[in-house]
């Protein structure tokens, strides 16, 4: 069995997909029999009109018996021969949420990032039931060929006890895209005696809001995974009231680090978190503020969130996820041999 993972070109500050599948690849490789292989290929080019085709050709020249396009670069699967077994992972449909149907970019992304790549794939994996539902509603596809394989938390995120600072807690926020909901978070923490640690680039308007409301904040970006882990260790709580996610990895990272987390009372966040997070209405500034204040003031509630979080994090480990992928590859190869895929 020869497996090749294709990942997007590394970009400073964006490393979640690459880290995930590097760990999956290493775990699978250790389980393969002699004579088999499992390797990762990083795309040589960032996205652009010319690089779009260059990346497709790159995949075509380096494909193996099993090719797994790991997310974001969905279009790269167009370089894979139908003779091989081709797997595509889709993390979310955020590109289709970003643009309206009257915007030409909506149809560009729908066609080149979703419809055509999904047709070329023998199997599509998604990271949550939410993403599966979105794909069925927005794209249409054979439901039997969509498999849910969740993400997992890096083993670098470990529990380090910390005395909660009730006087001036450290609030950690990670992200820079609109769906992460920083504007409402800034409104929610205005007037709260806290320090806001923002990981991600912010806009001029957000910077002006921070200054005019005298919010104690530190902004950093393009961090390594190790630096990000240190941010979790220093935090008293993690803020993640996102408006849209395919999974919600920050919930599990906060759980594994033993930090209470606030997240959205929306799918898939509420299913991923269960009892391991304080759920709020992400569209309601008052609800976000109430969640923050409850975690600050209610010691028993905060402790319960942390305890449930440590238990929850154990469900999302690399051995389990790698085993699921390996079983899917074996099944897909068998189906390919039997002519069950076109």
CATH number of the domain where residue 91 is located: 3.40.50.2000
Say whether both 95 and 179 belong to one domain: no
The answer on pLDDT for 120 being more than 80 is: yes
What is the average pLDDT score of the chain? 92
Say whether both 304 and 321 belong to one domain: no
Say whether both 98 and 229 belong to one domain: no
Nearest residue to 241 via CA among 297, 306, 315, 188: 188
- Average pLDDT over every residue of 14-20: 69
Nearest residue to 207 via CA among 199, 219, 195: 219
pLDDT tens, position by position, 140-178: 888 888 999 998 998 899 999 999 999 999 999 999 889
DSSP letter assigned to residue 201: -
The answer on pLDDT for 214 being more than 80 is: yes
Range of the domain at 112: 2-152+317-337
Say whether both 22 and 114 belong to one domain: yes
Lowest average pLDDT, out of 9-23, 60-74, 78-92, 222-236, goes to 9-23
Long-range contacts of the stretch 139-142 (C-beta < 8 A, 24+): 139/110, 139/114, 139/115
CA 87 – CA 99 distance, rounded (Å): 27
Say whether both 136 and 216 belong to one domain: no
In a domain, 239, yes or no: yes
CA 256 – CA 98 distance, rounded (Å): 31
**What pLDDT score was predicted for residue 342?**
62
pTM equals 0.84
In a domain, 159, yes or no: no
Say whether both 128 and 230 belong to one domain: no
Say whether both 195 and 235 belong to one domain: yes
The answer on pLDDT for 193 being more than 90 is: yes
- 153, β-bridge pairs: none
Q: Total domain count for the chain?
A: 2
Say whether both 327 and 301 belong to one domain: no
CA 289 – CA 292 distance, rounded (Å): 5
The answer on pLDDT for 228 being more than 70 is: yes
Nearest residue to 126 via CA among 75, 88, 86: 88
CA 253 – CA 153 distance, rounded (Å): 6
DSSP string, 129-170: HHHHHHHHHHT---GGGEEE------TT---------SSS-E
The answer on pLDDT for 122 being more than 60 is: yes
pLDDT tens, position by position, 51-67: 999 999 999 999 999 99
Say whether both 122 and 190 belong to one domain: no
pLDDT grade, residue 224 (50/70/90)?
Answer: confident
**What pLDDT score was predicted for residue 336?**
83
In a domain, 298, yes or no: yes
Say whether both 121 and 239 belong to one domain: no
If one counts every other C-beta atom within 10 angstroms of the C-beta of residue 320, the result is 14
174 phi and psi angles, rounded to 5 deg: -125, 125
The answer on pLDDT for 15 being more than 70 is: no
DSSP string, 81-113: -TTSEEEEEE---HHHHHS-TTSHHHHHHIIII
**What pLDDT score was predicted for residue 115?**
95
Lowest average pLDDT, out of 10-14, 36-40, 43-47, goes to 10-14
Cα torsion through 163, 164, 166, 170, rounded to 10? 120
Q: Is 279 helix (H, G, I), strand (E, B) or coil?
A: strand
Asked if 324 and 149 count as a contact pair (C-beta separation under 8 A), the reply is: yes
Say whether both 131 and 14 belong to one domain: yes
Say whether both 129 and 221 belong to one domain: no
The answer on pLDDT for 19 being more than 80 is: no
**What pLDDT score was predicted for residue 334?**
87
């Amino acid at each position: 069995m020869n497996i090749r993972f294709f990942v997007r070109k590394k970009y400073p500050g964006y490393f979640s997909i690459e880290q995930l599948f590097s760990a999956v690849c290493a775990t699978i490789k250790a389980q393969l029999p002699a004579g088999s292989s499992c390797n990762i290929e990083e795309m040589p080019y960032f996205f652009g009109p010319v690089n779009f085709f260059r990346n497709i050709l790159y995949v075509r020249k380096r494909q193996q018996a099993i090719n797994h396009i790991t997310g974001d670069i969905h279009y790269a699967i167009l370089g894979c021969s139908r003779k091989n077994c081709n797997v595509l992972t889709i993390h979310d449909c955020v590109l289709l949420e970003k643009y309206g149907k009257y915007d030409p970019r909506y149809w560009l992304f729908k066609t080149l990032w979703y419809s055509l790549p999904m047709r070329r794939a023998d199997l599509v994996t998604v990271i949550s039931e939410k993403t599966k539902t979105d794909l069925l509603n927005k794209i249409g596809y054979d439901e039997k060929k969509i498999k849910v394989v969740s993400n997992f938390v890096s083993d670098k995120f470990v529990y380090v006890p910390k005395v909660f600072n009730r006087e001036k807690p450290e609030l950690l926020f990670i992200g820079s895209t609109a769906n992460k909901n920083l504007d409402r978070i800034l409104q929610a923490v205005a007037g709260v005696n806290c320090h806001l640690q923002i990981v991600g680039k912010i806009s001029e308007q957000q910077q002006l809001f921070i200054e005019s409301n005298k919010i104690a904040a530190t902004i950093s970006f393009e961090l390594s995974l190790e630096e990000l882990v240190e941010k979790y260790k220093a935090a008293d709580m993690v803020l993640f009231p996102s408006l849209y996610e395919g999974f919600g990895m920050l919930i599990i990272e906060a759980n594994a680090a033993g930090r209470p987390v606030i997240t959205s009372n929306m799918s898939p966040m509420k299913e991923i978190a269960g009892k391991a997070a304080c759920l709020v209405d992400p569209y309601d500034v008052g609800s976000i503020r109430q969640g923050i204040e409850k975690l600050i003031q209610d010691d028993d509630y905060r402790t319960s969130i942390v305890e449930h979080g440590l238990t929850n994090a154990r469900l999302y480990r690399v051995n389990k996820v790698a085993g699921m992928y390996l079983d899917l590859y074996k099944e897909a190869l068998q189906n390919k041999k039997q002519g069950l895929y076109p």
